[in-house]
A and B are shown apart, each in its own frame.
Chain A
Amino acid sequence: MIQEKTNNKNPGSADSSKPVISIKGLYKSFGKDNDVLKGIDLTVQKGENLVVLGKSGSGKSVAIKCLVGLVTADKGEIKVFDTDISTLDYSGLNAVRIRIGFLFQNAALYDSMSVRQNLEFPLKRHSKKLSSQEVDDKVTEALVNVGLEEAIDKMPSELSGGMRKRIGLARTLILKPEIILYDEPTTGLDTITSREISELILAIQKKNKTSSVIITHDMACAKLTGDRLVIVKDGVIDAEGSYDELEKSDDAWVRSFFV
Chain B
Amino acid sequence: MVVYLKNIFNDAGNVTLFTARFFKEVLRPPYEIKEFIRQCYIIGYKSLPLVAITGFIMGLVLTLQSRPTLVEFGAESWLPGMVALSLIREIAPVITALICAGKISSGIGAELGSMKVTEQIDAMEVSGINPYKYLVVTRILATTLMIPLLVVFADGVGILGGYIGMNIHSDVTLFRYLSRILDSLEFLDIVPATIKTFFFGFFIGMTGCYKGYTAANGTESVGKAATSAVVVASLTIFIIDMLAVQLTDLFF
**Chain A, range 90-135, C-beta contacts under 8 Å to B:** 90, 94-95, 97-98, 100, 102, 104, 106, 108-112, 121-122, 125-126
Q: Out of B114, B115, B126, B129, name the residue touching A70 (CB < 8 Å).
A: B126
Interface string of B125-141 (1 = CB under 8 A from A): 11111100000000000
> Within the complex, what minimum Cβ distance (angstroms) separates A57 from chain B?
14
Query: Residue B19 at the A interface, CB < 8 A?
Result: no
Q: CB distance B128 to A126 under 8 Å?
A: yes
Contacts of A97 in B (CB 8 A): 125-128
> Within the complex, what minimum Cβ distance (angstroms) separates B207 from chain A?
21
Query: Residue B12 at the A interface, CB < 8 A?
Result: no
The complex places the Cα of A1 from the Cα of B126 at a distance, in Å, of 17
The complex places the Cα of A192 from the Cα of B125 at a distance, in Å, of 32
Q: CB distance B120 to A122 under 8 Å?
A: no
Q: CB distance B120 to A110 under 8 Å?
A: yes
Q: Out of A68, A102, A108, A125, name the residue touching B129 (CB < 8 Å).
A: A125
The complex places the Cα of A216 from the Cα of B162 at a distance, in Å, of 67
Q: CB distance A108 to B128 under 8 Å?
A: no
The complex places the Cα of A3 from the Cα of B128 at a distance, in Å, of 8
Q: Out of A68, A106, A109, A111, name the residue touching B126 (CB < 8 Å).
A: A68
Q: CB distance A122 to B122 under 8 Å?
A: no
The complex places the Cα of A95 from the Cα of B129 at a distance, in Å, of 10
Known: A108-B118, A111-B115, A111-B118. A102 touches B128 (CB 8 A): no
What residues make up the interface of A, taking CB atoms closer than 8 Å to B?
3, 65, 68, 70, 90, 94-95, 97-98, 100, 102, 104, 106, 108-112, 121-122, 125-126, 175
Q: CB distance B128 to A94 under 8 Å?
A: yes
**Nearest 10 A-B pairs (CB), nearest first?**
A98-B128, A108-B123, A108-B119, A94-B128, A122-B127, A102-B126, A97-B128, A68-B126, A104-B119, A108-B120
Contacts of B130 in A (CB 8 A): 90, 94
Residues of B within 8 A of A (CB-CB), count: 15
Q: CB distance B127 to A104 under 8 Å?
A: no
Contacts of B114 in A (CB 8 A): 111
Q: Out of A90, A95, A106, A125, name the residue touching B119 (CB < 8 Å).
A: A106
Interface string of B75-104 (1 = CB under 8 A from A): 000000000000000000000000000000
Contacts of A126 in B (CB 8 A): 127-128
The complex places the Cα of A27 from the Cα of B107 at a distance, in Å, of 38
Contacts of A90 in B (CB 8 A): 130
> Within the complex, what minimum Cβ distance (angstroms) separates A231 from chain B?
25
Contacts of A125 in B (CB 8 A): 128-129
Contacts of B128 in A (CB 8 A): 3, 94-95, 97-98, 122, 125-126
Contacts of B126 in A (CB 8 A): 68, 70, 97, 100, 102
> Within the complex, what minimum Cβ distance (angstroms) separates A61 from chain B?
10
Q: CB distance B115 to A122 under 8 Å?
A: no
Residue of B nearest to A183 (CB): B119
Question: What are 6 pairs between A and B in contact, CB < 8 Å?
Answer: A102-B123, A108-B118, A111-B115, A111-B118, A122-B128, A122-B129
The complex places the Cα of A65 from the Cα of B120 at a distance, in Å, of 14
Residue of A nearest to B111 (CB): A112
> Within the complex, what minimum Cβ distance (angstroms) separates A120 from chain B?
12
> Within the complex, what minimum Cβ distance (angstroms) separates B113 from chain A?
12
Contacts of B118 in A (CB 8 A): 106, 108, 111
Q: CB distance A121 to B129 under 8 Å?
A: yes
The complex places the Cα of A50 from the Cα of B127 at a distance, in Å, of 21
Residue of A nearest to B129 (CB): A125
Residue of A nearest to B119 (CB): A108
Q: CB distance B122 to A108 under 8 Å?
A: yes
* Known A97-B127, A98-B128, A104-B119; 20 more pairs at CB < 8 Å: A68-B126, A70-B122, A70-B125, A90-B130, A94-B130, A95-B128, A97-B126, A97-B128, A102-B123, A102-B126, A104-B122, A108-B119, A109-B120, A110-B123, A111-B115, A111-B118, A121-B129, A122-B127, A125-B128, A175-B127
> Within the complex, what minimum Cβ distance (angstroms) separates A166 from chain B?
15
Residue of A nearest to B29 (CB): A1
Residue of B nearest to A68 (CB): B126
The complex places the Cα of A11 from the Cα of B119 at a distance, in Å, of 30
The complex places the Cα of A110 from the Cα of B124 at a distance, in Å, of 9
Q: CB distance A98 to B122 under 8 Å?
A: no
Contacts of A109 in B (CB 8 A): 120
Contacts of A68 in B (CB 8 A): 126
The complex places the Cα of A137 from the Cα of B122 at a distance, in Å, of 27
Known: A98-B128, A121-B129. A104 touches B123 (CB 8 A): yes
Residue of A nearest to B114 (CB): A111
> Within the complex, what minimum Cβ distance (angstroms) separates A29 from chain B?
16
> Within the complex, what minimum Cβ distance (angstroms) separates A167 from chain B?
12
